[in-house]
Chain A
Amino acid sequence: MKKKRRLVFRSILLAIIAIAVGYTFYNNVFQDRNGSVQKGNKAPDFELTDLQGNKVRLSDYKGKGVFLNFWGTWCKPCQREMPYMQKEYKKYQKQGVEILAVNVGESNVSVKNFADRFHLSFPIPLDGSREVTKAYGIGPIPTTFLVDKNGNIIEKTSESLTNQTIKTYMEKIKP
């Protein structure tokens, strides 16, 4: 009897500690401490102006899959994946997938020259103040989020993507 009570007491105490520690871990390790946006989160809404001067708002693309890319002209890996993105964009745009290539903190002139050079036709929202970049907690670029038609992030990657990967991703978010 006494031993049983002892076991119950020990179990409860260890369980309480395990829950507290587990929750701390969940908050710290599995969700980034800087509050960066992770796979499984809802994609935070944002509004930016693109190269053509149009307002681009993420929530306007509800119902479509969004390939959300953060990049800079000076970043070589970003440069490498751009032609592939353009190629796949042409195919998948009709199937309800949109590419938003958010430029991180650069001037119109630099971005426009770059877009012309690579013949990019998808919207390029300019995040001059880096507010969106900060809100998403972007570390190294390129960083790509796959946002499904319900606005949920189903994938996050900071790799320079190959043509094949981009194709697979497009299939994933196709509504």
Chain B
Amino acid sequence: MRYEGSAVRSQTYNKTFIDKIWNFFSSVKVGIGIIIVILVAAAIGTIFPQEMYIPPNVDPTTYYKQEYGTPGQIFYLLGFHNLYGSWWFLLLLAALGISLIIVSIDRGVPLYRALKHQRVTRHESFMKRQRLFAVSDHGISFEQVKKVLLGKRYKIKEDNGNILAEKNRFSRWGPYVNHTGLIIFLIGAMLRFFPGMYTDQTLWIREGETAAIPGTKTDEGQYYAKNHKFVMELYNKKDKQFSNALNQVNNEVPKNYQSNVTLYHADPSHVVGEAPQLKKVKDAKIKVNEPLAFGDYALYQVDFKLNEFHRMNLKLEKKSTGKSFGEIKINLFNPKSEYNLGNGYKVKMIEYFPNFKLDEDGQPATENSVPDNPAFVFKMFTPETPKGETAFIGIRKNVEAGKNKYKMTFSGLETKNVSALTVKKDRTLPIIIVGGIIFMLGVVQGLYWNHRRIWIQQKNGQLWIAAHTNKNWFGLKKEMQAISQESGLVMPVDQSDEKSA
């Protein structure tokens, strides 16, 4: 195979193992094949949610089958649930990178050499083979031709009274510039996997809670955030400016999601789990698209949960009279095992089920540790019942062991909101942007300019003219028309038109 008059390196010999690898990736067909496989795989990966988007407490081994049936199970087994981090997807991207590099070297280098060492005087058959070609008998002024060509910004080389006029050769480098941009882009994407380059993690944090911000631990310490309040604002439907639009939808339209937080920093000496020595960095209001930036990081508002149960209040009452003997306030995240109401009245918590359910054996159990459906077993002690009476209390549930004289009644519920914040750090972004810009420059370079060459040769008193472009023949023909009018050259004929005619 030959390319712009010189042999494609890869096809010239085929010996060692290295050469075999090289030749495999040197094929444009292989390159296109890799691109197609990547596109198909990436598309399949969007059919079901990726692992990072399924609920955090579920087991992916069973979740995909439960939610999506057999296709979901296949999806999971083939590793599509974690596609963009899976080894074989990375391998495909790496293969694409290798293909781009080798294809470019194998074609770019010979092309560069061939164009650099072009001969001015070409063989007859070469001239005849060109799409635009003509032979004219009458003599014309070479000086005039040259002047016209120079006026059209052609570069002229002369040899034995023959002319090679050439322009916009740099447009031929477009694809290689483009490939370079892509490779830089891929390198940027690859650097995401290097330690310290990229972070994208989510933090659920309740109002009043202080939590370590994941992914922000360095040798200099660790960042913490305290969530003071989550705010959700809705548009007022009576608002004059927006009422028309707002009344077209049935639901409320949110105006703002916001977390009021304080950012802290703790020293590196801090051991995980130990109460950290927090130093306040700053207060901030994090809104959608208005992240809190600190260091290399940015903290974004991404999600929320409204009115999570936080505290449940219950009263101890005597059934017969309905008289209350005091109220207990149960912190659902950290309940006490005993609540003393004074005067000999107290309530012991025997069992606590934050998210109550009956398990397979019909036993009371909890789904997880989130208090979405709290239930308790209490033992109530009063002067009248010193041995205690046992009762199971849940939301709309009250089961007693025997016939109790006293009962616990629900008297109030306090809730808190939960904010989800995403912490992001991306040091690869500048590299990816540079790669993208170079990519676009390559596209522009290759598309908006055409590499045009005109050969003019004197043979046996005749004048041979041939012209070639890598694209946009219409443009070249128009230019040739202008040149022939101004210089008196014969307008070359499009030989492909003749053939088809």
Contact = CB atoms under 8 A, between A and B. Distances in A.
Interface of A: 3, 6-7, 10-11, 13-14, 17, 20-21, 23-25, 27-29, 33-35, 44-48, 57, 59, 72-74, 76, 104-110, 112-113, 125, 127-129, 131-132, 134-135, 140
A74 B273 contact: no
Nearest to B95: A21
Interface string B75-98: 000000000011100110010011
A168 to B, nearest CB: 24
Given A10-B18, A47-B273, A74-B366, A110 B352 contact: yes
Residue with the highest number of chain A CB atoms closer than 10 Å, among B105, B193, B333: B193
A25 B87 contact: yes
Interface stretch (B207-215, B453-461, B475-483): B207-215
A74 B365 contact: yes
A127 B214 CA distance: 16
Nearest to A15: B18
Contacts of A46: 271-274
A24 B19 contact: no
22 contacts: A7-B16, A10-B18, A14-B18, A17-B94, A20-B187, A25-B90, A27-B195, A29-B85, A46-B272, A47-B273, A74-B366, A106-B369, A107-B335, A108-B337, A110-B353, A110-B366, A110-B369, A113-B350, A113-B351, A131-B211, A132-B272, A134-B214
Interface string B303-344: 000000000000000000000000000001111110000000
A11 B98 CA distance: 13
Nearest to B337: A109
A112 B334 CA distance: 12
Given A17-B101, A21-B91, 8 more contacts: A10-B19, A33-B85, A46-B272, A57-B271, A109-B352, A110-B352, A113-B350, A127-B273
B472 interface: no
Interface in B178-212: 187, 190, 193-195, 201, 209, 211-212
B395 interface: no
A11 to B, nearest CB: 5
B193 A27 contact: yes
B188 to A, nearest CB: 12
Contacts of B105: 13
Contact of A47 (B101, B272, B369): B272
Given A7-B18, A110-B354, A20 B212 contact: no
Nearest to B360: A76
B21 A14 contact: yes
B272 A109 contact: no
A3 B212 contact: no
A110 B193 CA distance: 40
A13 B101 contact: yes
Give the bracket for the number of chain B residues in contact with chain A: 35 or more
A120 B91 CA distance: 48
A3 B98 contact: no
Chain A CB within 10 A, most for which of B9, B13, B21, B271: B271
Given A74-B367, A76-B359, A105-B369, A35 B215 contact: yes
Contacts of B350: 113
Contacts of B359: 76
Contact of B85 (A28, A59, A105, A127): A28
Interface in B382-426: none
B335 A47 contact: no
Contacts of A104: 369
A3 B211 CA distance: 62
Contacts of B246: none
Contacts of A27: 193-195
B368 interface: yes
Contacts of A129: 209, 211-212, 273
Interface in B21-38: 21-22
Contacts of B349: 109
A7 B273 contact: no
A69 to B, nearest CB: 15
B59 interface: yes
Contact of A131 (B272, B355, B367): B272
Nearest to B88: A29
A38 B359 CA distance: 33
Contact of B368 (A25, A74, A125): A74
B427 to A, nearest CB: 14
A35 B41 CA distance: 26
Contacts of B13: 3
A20 B310 CA distance: 50
The 6 closest A-B pairs by CB, nearest first: A47-B274, A46-B273, A46-B272, A74-B366, A21-B94, A28-B193
A135 B214 CA distance: 8
A73 B366 contact: yes
Contacts of B91: 21
A104 to B, nearest CB: 7
Contacts of B190: 20-21, 24
B420 to A, nearest CB: 15
A160 to B, nearest CB: 12
Nearest to A114: B351
A24 B335 contact: no
B70 to A, nearest CB: 22
A109 B335 contact: yes
B310 to A, nearest CB: 13
Contact of B273 (A13, A48, A72, A76): A48
Contacts of B18: 7, 10-11, 14
B489 to A, nearest CB: 43
Contacts of A105: 369
A131 to B, nearest CB: 5
A132 B214 CA distance: 11
A131 B214 CA distance: 9
